A and B are shown apart, each in its own frame.
Chain A
Amino acid sequence: MSNTASPSATATPTPAAASAEAAAVEKNWTEVARLDSLQPGVPKIILVAGKSIGLIRDKNQVHALLNYCPHAGAPVCTKARVSGFVGTDSDGNLTYNEETKVLRCPWHHWEFYLATGLPVVKTRGRLKRFDVRVREGVVELVM
């Protein structure tokens, strides 16, 4: 599921594409922020329908995560740190991948992939993500 969809930017709709578009239109998009109010890599906490949600901008994409850590229930986005991925290449040399973003929980510093919400070190649970789109500088999400 894309987190940065711009679903209407398609050419002549095929029947399948048309029904996908219809489904997308039926989603209940809610405006939650202006893109330029989000600082890249710095989570912004918003309250939507009684849920605390973290918005995290990565270039011109936005991720929306439930502000709840599957480890021990921390508000996982509040003051979380976002960075690229520290790993190694196939020769064992250390690497830093700017594109693969991870979020680290403010409490116990566990790492989660921003793109999937999965923990980097395998364990139970994952971050809950919401569909997000950016239209004309406005961030919208589906609850």
Chain B
Amino acid sequence: MSLIDCDIHFAPAHKEEWLPYLDEPYRSEVNQFGPRVISSGVRWEDGGNRWDTVLEDGRNGALDVTAMRDQLLDVYGHRLGLLTGINTWHAGQPDGDYAAAICRAFNDYTLAHWTSADERLYTGIHVPNLDPELASREVERLAGHPKIKCVFLPATAGRTPLGNPAMAALFKACAKHGLPLHLHPSTTVMIANGSTIPTGMARNFLQIHVCIPQFYMSDLVSLVLEGTFEKYPGLKVMFIEGGICWLPHVLWRMDKEYKALRQQAPRLKRLPSEYVYDHVRFGTQPLEEPDKPEHLAQIFNMIQADRIVVYSSDYPHFDFDEPSFLPKTLGETTRRRILHDNAAELFGLPVPAVSEEKTMEPASR
């Protein structure tokens, strides 16, 4: 089965690879002083990478396209791998001009060195997340490039909830070019906003990692209830690396509370969950692992996973998921939609027609 992977990390092997793409005065600055760093202060184990991805010479596989082929693309049958890169250099940078320059350099470097090296590799546009106006300019600059499939927004805990009208310029640019907004957690953007978990600064990465869905809930609720998808009917949003098991709760709760308090979301014309099904997609990884696998299959069923879930591996990080992590009892159609078709539709790729089949089967594996 051909696979679309919505989250593959990679990085330049050394500074000389990407520095030529950085505009002045920042090239000179980084040359002399290195990139500006927002540090998490938490234990960070070898960049959070799988130890088995480290090559004989000590380099990580995610720094080298040949290694990435051997460790990932050729192993799982990728039709399309979305290179999400790194966002720690620009995410949360308070200086929007600097963040925008880093994004431009990183985007150009990715297109020149990576996506051109393998026909399966694609990427998106990194943008400075705290300056929607500069972000929209970078979208305008690169939209239409054949290797660009989305816009990356480091998430979350922005200075305002994601649906705030202050984000208008970015939403408009994404909708105009049909590029989904791809959210990926960023510890640095959380730190920059003074909150690595919703209640403040967590003492370690474990707590940060577990609480990512809490940020995603807030951003999803804000996006939907502000009427963002009424304002920008062409906008699609992807929530990556938050898992999926929090969705039944938030979808049901939004719909329930909306019935009582609709006057506070007057831009909506439909139930909140209906906007989610039409406009929002969720990455599988890190897929929750309950003791009873059938419970996970039930959640896939509750959220109509065949419509809204896309596969993401998170290679080469320690919480990587293989495609086989999906519940064994999913019907063939649902499996294919998650591993391929849902993302293909988002990225404007042809989806092969198939005969009708049952999409969900009783849970047990």
Contact = CB atoms under 8 A, between A and B. Distances in A.
Most chain A beta-carbon contacts within 10 A, residue among B227, B259, B271:
B259
Contacts of B230: 88, 92
B271 A111 contact: no
Contacts, number: 31
B266 A119 contact: no
Given A86-B266, A88-B230, A111-B262, 17 more contacts: A71-B259, A86-B262, A87-B266, A88-B266, A88-B267, A92-B227, A92-B267, A94-B266, A109-B260, A110-B259, A110-B260, A120-B262, A121-B259, A121-B262, A121-B271, A122-B271, A123-B259
A47 B260 CA distance: 28
Interface string A99-142: 00000000011110000000111110000000000000000000
Given A92-B227, A121-B258, A122-B271, A111 B263 contact: yes
Interface of B: 227, 230-231, 258-263, 266-267, 271
14 contacts: A86-B266, A88-B230, A88-B267, A92-B227, A108-B259, A110-B259, A110-B260, A111-B259, A111-B262, A119-B259, A120-B262, A121-B271, A122-B271, A123-B259
A92 B226 CA distance: 11
A79 to B, nearest CB: 15
Contacts of A88: 227, 230, 266-267
A94 B231 CA distance: 13
B348 to A, nearest CB: 27
Nearest to B255: A121
Contacts of B261: 109
B166 to A, nearest CB: 16
A31 to B, nearest CB: 36
A122 B266 CA distance: 14
Contacts of A71: 259
Nearest to B260: A109
Centre residue among A87, A109, A121, A123 by max chain B CB count within 10 A: A121
B278 to A, nearest CB: 16
B266 A108 contact: no
B224 to A, nearest CB: 14
A121 B227 CA distance: 15
Name the 10 nearest CB pairs between A and B, nearest first: A109-B260, A86-B263, A121-B259, A86-B266, A108-B260, A110-B259, A87-B266, A88-B267, A121-B262, A88-B266
A125 B266 CA distance: 22
A111 B257 CA distance: 12
Contacts of A120: 262
A66 B263 CA distance: 24
Nearest to A110: B259
Nearest to B261: A109
Contacts of A87: 266
Contacts of B266: 86-88, 94
Interface in A40-69: none
A110 to B, nearest CB: 5
Nearest to A121: B259
Contacts of A92: 227, 230-231, 267
B261 to A, nearest CB: 7
A119 B266 CA distance: 15
A121 B271 CA distance: 7
Nearest to A105: B260
Which of A71, A88, A110, A119 has the most C-beta atoms of chain B within 10 angstroms of its own C-beta?
Answer: A88
